[in-house]
């Protein structure tokens, strides 16, 4: 299985270090989905599926096969940077769900419903870890749990929730977990909103089936 290194900042020599460490390719944040497509085209365009992490669990998302022309890998969203800095929105980003839905294969279970269901099954345990870390002022635990939830929430378009996770992660990194109570309250509210929106998406998928 190919391994692609992902780093937050591009420094001279980083690519060589990653390749020397055994990585197959290299990508830096922020990156566009077009750049991600190019990496996928190089390594997994001729495979049946690509693995996507959802709250620490791994699920397979099918990719259309096109070994004759890897540049024709199905498009997601062009030109939008995937990065940690997140502007708080008022609703779930439907474009994120549309990008996942674009990978739907005929005759297969609804891909959005499958992924958001797995997210909702996995995320309560992570939310509980965040709560316990805030209550016990465990900065290390807070940083780890918030980081784990941040990426999967952003991937599914729950940008307000991901923004809260980012804030808590930074508090943990700075050893400021004692100041996290208010952000935790925001996170719990945005998490409930996101889950309600995801339930609606599941309902839409069932109605369309």
Domain parsing of the chain, residue ranges: 4-208
Report the C-alpha gap between 56 and 134 in whole angstroms: 20
pLDDT of 138: 95
pLDDT of 209: 62
∠ CA 185-59-9, nearest 5°, is: 65
Report the C-alpha gap between 43 and 76 in whole angstroms: 17
Tokens coding 104: 């739907």
Q: Which residues pair with 25 in a beta bridge?
A: 4
| SS3 of the chain: helix, strand, coil, percent, to 5 | 55, 10, 30
Tokens coding 139: 């900065």
Q: What is the pTM of this model?
A: 0.59
Q: Is 25 helix (H, G, I), strand (E, B) or coil?
A: strand
8 Å CB contact between 154 and 93: no
pLDDT of 107: 85
Tokens 């990156």 -> residue: 31
Tokens 């420094």 -> residue: 11
pLDDT of 85: 39
Tokens 């369309």 -> residue: 208
pLDDT of 11: 59
Q: Walk along the chain (209 residues) and give the pLDDT tens digit of each residue.
A: 677 777 755 555 666 666 666 777 777 765 666 677 777 777 654 444 445 555 555 555 454 444 444 444 444 444 444 444 344 444 688 888 888 888 888 888 888 899 999 999 999 999 999 999 999 999 999 999 999 999 889 889 999 999 999 999 999 999 988 889 999 999 999 999 999 999 988 888 777 66
pLDDT of 109: 85
Residues with Cβ within 8 Å of residue 52, at least 6 apart in sequence: 58, 59, 60, 61, 115, 155
Domain spanning 4-208, CATH architecture: Up-down Bundle (1.20)
How many H helices and E strands in the chain?
7, 6
């Amino acid at each position: 299985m190919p391994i692609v290194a992902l780093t937050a900042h591009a420094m001279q020599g980083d690519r060589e270090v990653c390749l020397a460490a055994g990585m197959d390719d290299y990508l830096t944040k922020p990156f566009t989905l077009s750049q991600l497509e190019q990496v996928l085209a190089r390594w997994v365009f001729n495979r049946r599926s690509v693995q996507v992490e959802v709250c620490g669990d791994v699920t397979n998302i099918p990719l259309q096969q096109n070994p004759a022309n890897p540049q024709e890998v199905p498009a997601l969203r062009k030109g939008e940077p995937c990065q940690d800095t997140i502007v708080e929105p008022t609703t779930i980003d439907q474009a994120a769900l549309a990008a996942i839905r674009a990978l739907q294969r005929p005759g297969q279970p609804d891909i959005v419903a499958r992924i958001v269901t797995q997210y909702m099954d996995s995320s309560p345990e992570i939310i509980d870890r965040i709560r316990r870390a805030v209550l016990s002022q465990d900065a290390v635990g807070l940083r780890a749990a918030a980081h784990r939830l941040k990426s999967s929430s952003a991937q599914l378009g729950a940008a307000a929730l991901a923004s809260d996770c980012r804030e808590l992660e930074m508090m943990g990194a700075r050893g400021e977990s004692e100041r996290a109570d208010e952000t935790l309250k925001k996170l719990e509210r945005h998490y409930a909103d996101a889950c309600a929106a995801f339930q609606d998406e599941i309902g839409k998928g069932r109605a369309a089936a």
